[in-house]
Chains A and B, each alone.
Chain A
Amino acid sequence: MIPLVKRMVIPSNLKAAREAEDKLLAAVCRCGFKEASTFAVKLALEEGLNNAIKHGNGYDASKTIEISFDVDEKHATITITDQGEGFDPGILPDPTADENLEKPCGRGIMLMRAYMDEVCYNERGNQVRLVKHNT
Protein backbone atom coordinates (compact mmCIF):
# COMPACT_ATOMS: atom_id res chain seq x y z
CA MET A 1 0.00 0.00 0.00
CA ILE A 2 1.24 3.49 -0.81
CA PRO A 3 1.92 5.43 2.38
CA LEU A 4 -0.69 8.08 3.05
CA VAL A 5 0.96 11.41 3.78
CA LYS A 6 -1.25 14.33 4.56
CA ARG A 7 -0.86 17.84 5.78
CA MET A 8 -3.59 19.90 7.36
CA VAL A 9 -3.68 23.38 8.80
CA ILE A 10 -6.52 23.93 11.25
CA PRO A 11 -7.70 26.84 13.42
CA SER A 12 -7.17 26.76 17.19
CA ASN A 13 -10.49 25.29 18.28
CA LEU A 14 -11.72 21.91 19.48
CA LYS A 15 -14.26 21.46 16.68
CA ALA A 16 -11.58 21.74 14.02
CA ALA A 17 -9.38 19.42 16.06
CA ARG A 18 -12.16 16.83 16.22
CA GLU A 19 -12.65 16.95 12.45
CA ALA A 20 -8.92 16.50 11.88
CA GLU A 21 -8.83 13.70 14.42
CA ASP A 22 -11.70 11.89 12.66
CA LYS A 23 -9.89 12.11 9.31
CA LEU A 24 -6.66 10.77 10.74
CA LEU A 25 -8.37 7.95 12.60
CA ALA A 26 -10.21 6.96 9.43
CA ALA A 27 -6.84 6.72 7.69
CA VAL A 28 -5.47 4.58 10.52
CA CYS A 29 -8.48 2.26 10.26
CA ARG A 30 -8.10 1.99 6.48
CA CYS A 31 -4.52 0.85 7.02
CA GLY A 32 -5.69 -1.96 9.27
CA PHE A 33 -4.48 -0.69 12.62
CA LYS A 34 -5.41 -2.96 15.49
CA GLU A 35 -7.88 -1.80 18.11
CA ALA A 36 -5.29 -1.17 20.81
CA SER A 37 -3.05 0.80 18.44
CA THR A 38 -6.02 2.85 17.22
CA PHE A 39 -6.98 3.65 20.82
CA ALA A 40 -3.42 4.85 21.43
CA VAL A 41 -3.40 7.05 18.32
CA LYS A 42 -6.75 8.58 19.24
CA LEU A 43 -5.63 9.31 22.78
CA ALA A 44 -2.34 10.84 21.66
CA LEU A 45 -3.98 12.89 18.91
CA GLU A 46 -6.50 14.32 21.33
CA GLU A 47 -3.89 15.15 23.94
CA GLY A 48 -1.48 16.61 21.37
CA LEU A 49 -4.10 18.74 19.66
CA ASN A 50 -5.58 19.90 22.96
CA ASN A 51 -2.14 20.95 24.15
CA ALA A 52 -1.49 22.81 20.90
CA ILE A 53 -4.81 24.67 21.11
CA LYS A 54 -4.76 25.36 24.84
CA HIS A 55 -1.13 25.71 25.89
CA GLY A 56 0.55 26.38 22.55
CA ASN A 57 -1.74 28.81 20.79
CA GLY A 58 -3.68 29.84 23.92
CA TYR A 59 -7.01 29.59 22.05
CA ASP A 60 -5.84 32.47 19.84
CA ALA A 61 -8.15 32.42 16.81
CA SER A 62 -5.48 34.13 14.70
CA LYS A 63 -3.08 31.22 15.20
CA THR A 64 -3.21 27.88 13.43
CA ILE A 65 -2.01 24.33 14.00
CA GLU A 66 -0.24 22.29 11.37
CA ILE A 67 -0.70 18.54 11.34
CA SER A 68 1.24 16.18 9.13
CA PHE A 69 0.39 12.55 9.04
CA ASP A 70 2.09 9.52 7.51
CA VAL A 71 0.43 6.13 7.89
CA ASP A 72 0.84 2.70 6.37
CA GLU A 73 0.11 -0.82 7.61
CA LYS A 74 3.06 -0.81 9.97
CA HIS A 75 3.22 2.57 11.57
CA ALA A 76 1.61 5.99 11.99
CA THR A 77 3.65 9.16 12.36
CA ILE A 78 1.90 12.36 13.37
CA THR A 79 3.53 15.76 13.74
CA ILE A 80 1.61 18.58 15.43
CA THR A 81 3.02 22.10 15.28
CA ASP A 82 1.52 25.10 17.02
CA GLN A 83 2.45 28.79 16.76
CA GLY A 84 3.17 29.26 20.43
CA GLU A 85 6.46 30.07 22.09
CA GLY A 86 7.10 26.45 22.98
CA PHE A 87 8.03 24.88 26.30
CA ASP A 88 10.57 22.57 27.87
CA PRO A 89 8.98 19.11 28.22
CA GLY A 90 11.89 18.08 30.42
CA ILE A 91 10.78 20.17 33.37
CA LEU A 92 7.21 18.96 33.72
CA PRO A 93 6.23 17.60 37.13
CA ASP A 94 5.53 13.87 37.38
CA PRO A 95 1.72 13.51 37.58
CA THR A 96 2.10 10.10 39.23
CA ALA A 97 4.11 11.48 42.16
CA ASP A 98 2.14 11.24 45.40
CA GLU A 99 1.94 15.01 45.79
CA ASN A 100 0.49 15.45 42.28
CA LEU A 101 -1.98 12.57 42.20
CA GLU A 102 -5.03 14.67 43.00
CA LYS A 103 -4.18 17.57 40.73
CA PRO A 104 -6.70 17.80 37.88
CA CYS A 105 -4.15 18.73 35.18
CA GLY A 106 -0.77 17.63 33.87
CA ARG A 107 -1.35 14.10 32.56
CA GLY A 108 -1.60 14.68 28.80
CA ILE A 109 2.06 14.33 27.84
CA MET A 110 2.55 11.48 30.27
CA LEU A 111 -0.32 9.59 28.62
CA MET A 112 1.06 10.25 25.14
CA ARG A 113 4.40 8.83 26.24
CA ALA A 114 2.71 5.80 27.80
CA TYR A 115 0.68 4.91 24.71
CA MET A 116 2.92 5.93 21.79
CA ASP A 117 6.21 4.34 20.75
CA GLU A 118 7.89 7.70 20.21
CA VAL A 119 7.05 11.18 21.52
CA CYS A 120 9.64 13.79 20.54
CA TYR A 121 9.57 17.58 20.79
CA ASN A 122 11.57 19.99 18.69
CA GLU A 123 14.09 22.25 20.40
CA ARG A 124 11.66 25.15 20.67
CA GLY A 125 8.95 22.93 22.12
CA ASN A 126 6.15 23.94 19.76
CA GLN A 127 6.18 20.74 17.73
CA VAL A 128 5.57 17.16 18.82
CA ARG A 129 6.24 14.08 16.71
CA LEU A 130 4.23 11.01 17.64
CA VAL A 131 4.94 7.52 16.30
CA LYS A 132 2.86 4.39 16.82
CA HIS A 133 3.76 0.96 15.47
CA ASN A 134 0.84 -1.26 14.53
CA THR A 135 1.58 -4.15 16.85
Chain B
Amino acid sequence: MQDETQRLTVIRDADVTIVELTDRKILDEINISQIGDQLGALVGGGTIAPQSEAGTDEDGYRVSQAPAKAGPLKLVLDFASVSHMSSSALGMLITLQKRIRESKGGLRLCNIQTTIYEVFVITRLNEIFQICQTREEAVASLRGWKA
Protein backbone atom coordinates (compact mmCIF):
# COMPACT_ATOMS: atom_id res chain seq x y z
CA MET B 1 0.00 0.00 0.00
CA GLN B 2 1.37 3.40 -0.94
CA ASP B 3 0.22 6.73 0.39
CA GLU B 4 1.39 9.85 -1.44
CA THR B 5 1.67 12.98 0.65
CA GLN B 6 3.12 16.36 -0.16
CA ARG B 7 6.62 15.90 1.17
CA LEU B 8 7.08 12.21 1.62
CA THR B 9 5.87 8.84 0.45
CA VAL B 10 4.71 6.31 3.02
CA ILE B 11 4.84 2.63 2.14
CA ARG B 12 3.56 -0.13 4.41
CA ASP B 13 5.46 -3.41 4.17
CA ALA B 14 3.80 -5.79 6.63
CA ASP B 15 4.69 -4.42 10.10
CA VAL B 16 7.38 -2.06 8.77
CA THR B 17 6.60 1.48 7.64
CA ILE B 18 8.92 2.93 5.02
CA VAL B 19 9.11 6.67 4.49
CA GLU B 20 10.77 7.94 1.34
CA LEU B 21 11.92 11.54 1.59
CA THR B 22 10.90 12.34 -1.95
CA ASP B 23 11.94 15.96 -2.34
CA ARG B 24 15.67 16.60 -2.82
CA LYS B 25 15.40 19.69 -0.63
CA ILE B 26 13.01 18.13 1.82
CA LEU B 27 15.35 18.71 4.70
CA ASP B 28 15.95 22.35 3.91
CA GLU B 29 15.13 24.69 6.75
CA ILE B 30 11.93 25.93 5.22
CA ASN B 31 10.48 22.44 4.76
CA ILE B 32 11.36 21.08 8.19
CA SER B 33 8.09 22.18 9.75
CA GLN B 34 6.00 20.34 7.18
CA ILE B 35 8.01 17.14 7.26
CA GLY B 36 8.08 17.26 11.06
CA ASP B 37 4.30 17.50 11.15
CA GLN B 38 3.95 14.50 8.87
CA LEU B 39 6.49 12.33 10.66
CA GLY B 40 4.96 13.35 14.00
CA ALA B 41 1.57 12.19 12.74
CA LEU B 42 3.08 8.81 11.87
CA VAL B 43 4.75 8.19 15.22
CA GLY B 44 2.03 9.84 17.34
CA GLY B 45 2.33 12.58 19.91
CA GLY B 46 2.17 15.57 17.58
CA THR B 47 4.76 17.31 15.44
CA ILE B 48 8.48 16.75 15.85
CA ALA B 49 9.41 19.86 13.90
CA PRO B 50 11.50 22.61 15.45
CA GLN B 51 9.27 25.54 16.26
CA SER B 52 9.66 28.93 14.69
CA GLU B 53 7.46 30.85 17.09
CA ALA B 54 6.31 30.58 20.68
CA GLY B 55 5.42 27.26 22.30
CA THR B 56 8.79 25.59 22.40
CA ASP B 57 10.45 23.40 24.96
CA GLU B 58 13.86 24.15 26.45
CA ASP B 59 15.61 22.90 23.36
CA GLY B 60 13.59 25.15 21.09
CA TYR B 61 11.36 22.37 19.83
CA ARG B 62 7.62 22.52 19.66
CA VAL B 63 5.77 21.39 22.70
CA SER B 64 3.67 18.45 21.65
CA GLN B 65 -0.03 19.20 21.69
CA ALA B 66 -1.32 15.66 21.28
CA PRO B 67 -0.74 12.71 23.62
CA ALA B 68 1.21 9.80 22.18
CA LYS B 69 -1.32 7.40 20.75
CA ALA B 70 0.56 5.33 18.22
CA GLY B 71 1.75 1.87 19.12
CA PRO B 72 5.30 0.65 18.57
CA LEU B 73 6.35 1.74 15.10
CA LYS B 74 8.99 0.05 12.99
CA LEU B 75 10.10 2.87 10.73
CA VAL B 76 12.60 3.01 7.88
CA LEU B 77 13.58 6.46 6.60
CA ASP B 78 14.90 6.26 3.05
CA PHE B 79 17.28 9.13 2.21
CA ALA B 80 17.95 8.14 -1.42
CA SER B 81 16.66 11.46 -2.78
CA VAL B 82 18.09 13.69 -0.07
CA SER B 83 20.99 15.87 -1.18
CA HIS B 84 21.06 18.38 1.64
CA MET B 85 21.18 18.29 5.43
CA SER B 86 20.96 20.91 8.17
CA SER B 87 21.31 20.98 11.93
CA SER B 88 17.53 21.45 12.20
CA ALA B 89 16.98 18.28 10.18
CA LEU B 90 19.38 16.41 12.45
CA GLY B 91 17.49 17.71 15.48
CA MET B 92 14.23 16.53 14.00
CA LEU B 93 15.67 13.05 13.45
CA ILE B 94 16.87 12.92 17.05
CA THR B 95 13.39 13.86 18.26
CA LEU B 96 11.88 11.25 15.94
CA GLN B 97 14.17 8.55 17.30
CA LYS B 98 13.36 9.55 20.88
CA ARG B 99 9.62 9.40 20.18
CA ILE B 100 9.91 5.98 18.54
CA ARG B 101 12.03 4.66 21.41
CA GLU B 102 9.47 5.84 23.94
CA SER B 103 6.81 3.82 22.16
CA LYS B 104 9.13 0.77 22.06
CA GLY B 105 9.46 1.00 18.30
CA GLY B 106 12.52 0.89 16.05
CA LEU B 107 14.04 3.33 13.54
CA ARG B 108 16.46 2.66 10.71
CA LEU B 109 17.95 5.15 8.24
CA CYS B 110 19.07 3.96 4.82
CA ASN B 111 20.40 4.98 1.38
CA ILE B 112 22.24 7.99 2.78
CA GLN B 113 24.47 9.65 0.18
CA THR B 114 28.15 9.98 1.02
CA THR B 115 28.07 13.76 1.46
CA ILE B 116 25.10 13.49 3.83
CA TYR B 117 26.62 10.57 5.73
CA GLU B 118 29.67 12.74 6.36
CA VAL B 119 27.43 15.17 8.27
CA PHE B 120 26.34 12.30 10.51
CA VAL B 121 29.97 11.33 11.10
CA ILE B 122 31.13 14.88 11.87
CA THR B 123 28.35 15.25 14.43
CA ARG B 124 28.85 11.67 15.73
CA LEU B 125 25.18 11.00 15.06
CA ASN B 126 26.15 7.89 13.10
CA GLU B 127 26.75 6.47 16.59
CA ILE B 128 23.20 6.98 17.82
CA PHE B 129 21.26 6.12 14.66
CA GLN B 130 21.13 2.66 13.14
CA ILE B 131 22.14 3.35 9.55
CA CYS B 132 21.79 0.68 6.87
CA GLN B 133 23.23 0.69 3.36
CA THR B 134 20.03 -0.37 1.60
CA ARG B 135 16.31 -0.29 2.21
CA GLU B 136 16.18 -4.09 2.06
CA GLU B 137 18.77 -4.34 4.81
CA ALA B 138 16.87 -1.80 6.93
CA VAL B 139 13.53 -3.57 6.52
CA ALA B 140 15.09 -6.96 7.24
CA SER B 141 16.72 -5.71 10.44
CA LEU B 142 13.35 -4.42 11.70
CA ARG B 143 11.25 -7.35 10.55
CA GLY B 144 12.49 -9.73 13.19
CA TRP B 145 13.21 -7.00 15.70
CA LYS B 146 11.52 -6.64 19.08
CA ALA B 147 12.07 -3.90 21.66
Contacts and interface: CB of A to CB of B under 8 A. Distances in A.
15 contacts: A17-B30, A39-B115, A43-B86, A46-B28, A46-B29, A50-B87, A59-B53, A96-B123, A102-B94, A102-B98, A102-B128, A107-B90, A107-B91, A108-B87, A114-B122
Nearest to A14: B30
Contacts of B92: 104
Contacts of A101: 124-125, 127-128
Contacts of B87: 47, 50, 105-108, 111
B95 interface: yes
Q: Is the interface of A mostly helix, strand, loop or mixed?
A: helix
Interface residues of B, number: 28
Interface in B56-106: 59-61, 84-88, 90-92, 94-95, 98
A7 interface: no
Interface string A107-124: 110110010000000000
A54 interface: yes
A110 B90 CA distance: 13
B5 interface: no
Interface of B: 28-30, 50, 52-53, 59-61, 84-88, 90-92, 94-95, 98, 115, 119, 122-125, 127-128
B59 A103 contact: yes
Complex A-B, nearest 6 residue pairs according to Cβ-Cβ distance, in ascending order: A104-B91, A107-B87, A108-B87, A104-B94, A96-B124, A14-B30
A45 to B, nearest CB: 10
Given A18-B30, A46-B29, A54-B52, A111 B123 contact: yes
A63 interface: no
A129 interface: no
Contacts of A39: 84, 115
A104 B123 contact: no
